[in-house]
Amino acid sequence: MGDHAPLLDARSISIHFGGLRALAEVSVQVYEGESLGIVGPNGAGKTTLFNCLCGQLRPDNGSVSFAGRPIDGLPSYRRARLGIARTFQRIEVFPEMTVFEHLMVAERARRGDGRLWKDLLNLGRPRRDELENVEEMLSLVGLSDVAMTPVAALSLGHCRLVELGRALMLQPRLLMADEPSSGLDTRETQVLGDLLRYVQRERSVAMILVEHDLDMVARVVDRAMVLDFGEMVAEGTLREVMANPEVRRAYLGRGA
Partner 1 sequence: MSSFLDYAIPGIPYGCGFALLAVGLVLTFRATGVFNLAFGAQAFLSAFVFDLLNQYAHWDQPASFALAVLVVAPGLGLALDRFLFRHIPTASSTAKVVSSLGLLVAIPEMIPIIFGGRTRHRIGYLWLSPNLVYFHLGSTPVNGADIATTVITLGVVAALLAMFRWSAAGVTMRAVVESRRLSQLEGVNASRVAAGAWALSSTLAGLSGVLLLSQSNSIDPTNPLAFTTLLVAGITAAALASMESISVALLGGIGLGVLENVLVKYLPPGSVLATGFLPSLPFAVLVIVLLANPRLRHIEQSSDPMASVDPPPPPPAVSTRDPRLAAPMKWGFRILMVAFVASVLTWVPGNWVFVLAQGIVFSVIFLSVTMITGMSGQLSLCQATFAGIGAFTAGRLAEHLGLSVLAGALVGGLLAALVGIVLAVVVSRVSGLLLTLVTLAFAIFADNVLFQFSWSGGGITGVDVPRPAIGPLSFASDRYFLVLALVILAFCMLLVVLVQRGTVGRYLAAMRGSPGAAASLGINLTSTKVVVFAMSAGLAGIGGALYGSAEGPIASTDFSYVLSLVWVVVVITTGATTVEGAVQAGMAFAVLAQVLSYLPSRLDGLEFVMFAFGALTYAKHPEGIVEYQKARWLARVSRLLAAWDARHPGSGQPSLAGSGETASAAPAGSVELSNG
Partner 2 sequence: MSPALLEADGLCASYGSYRALFGVSLEVPEGSAVALLGSNGAGKSTFARVLTGLVPASSGSVRLDGHDVTGMPAWRIARMGVAHVPEGRGIFSSLSVEENLSLSFRRRMGRGGIGEALDKAYAGFPILAERRRQQAGTLSGGQQRMLSLAKVLAVPPRLLVADELSLGLAPVVVDAVYDGLAEIRRAGTALLVVEQHIDRALALAEHAVLLAKGEVAWQGPPSGAAEAMERILGSGRAERT
Q: Which of residues 119-138 bind partner 1 (CB under 8 A)?
A: 119-120, 122-124
**60 binds partner 2, rule: CB under 8 A:** no
**19 binds partner 2, rule: CB under 8 A:** yes
Helices (H), the chain: 46-54, 76-82, 99-112, 116-121, 128-141, 156-168, 186-202, 214-220, 238-243, 245-252
Q: Which of residues 211-240 bind partner 2 (CB under 8 A)?
A: 212-215, 218, 229
Please list, in sequence order, all residues whose beta carbon lies within 8 angstroms of the beta carbon of residue 43, skipping any fewer than 6 positions away. Answer: none
Nearer to partner 1, 94 or 229 (CB): 94
**206 binds partner 1, rule: CB under 8 A:** no
Q: Which of 166, 189, 205, 232 binds partner 1 (CB under 8 A)?
A: 166
Minimal distance, residue 4 CB to partner 1, in Å = 29
C-alpha 172/C-alpha 175 separation (Å) is 6
**20 binds partner 2, rule: CB under 8 A:** yes
C-alpha 223/C-alpha 35 separation (Å) is 7
From partner 1, partner 2, none, interface partner of 80 (C-beta below 5 to 8 A by class): partner 1
* CA-only gyration radius of the chain, Å: 19
Note whether 79 and 170 are within 8 A (CB): no
C-alpha 154/C-alpha 160 separation (Å) is 10
Q: Which of 2, 3, 4, 18 binds partner 2 (CB under 8 A)?
A: 18
Q: Which of 29, 63, 65, 182 binds partner 1 (CB under 8 A)?
A: 182
**186 binds partner 1, rule: CB under 8 A:** no
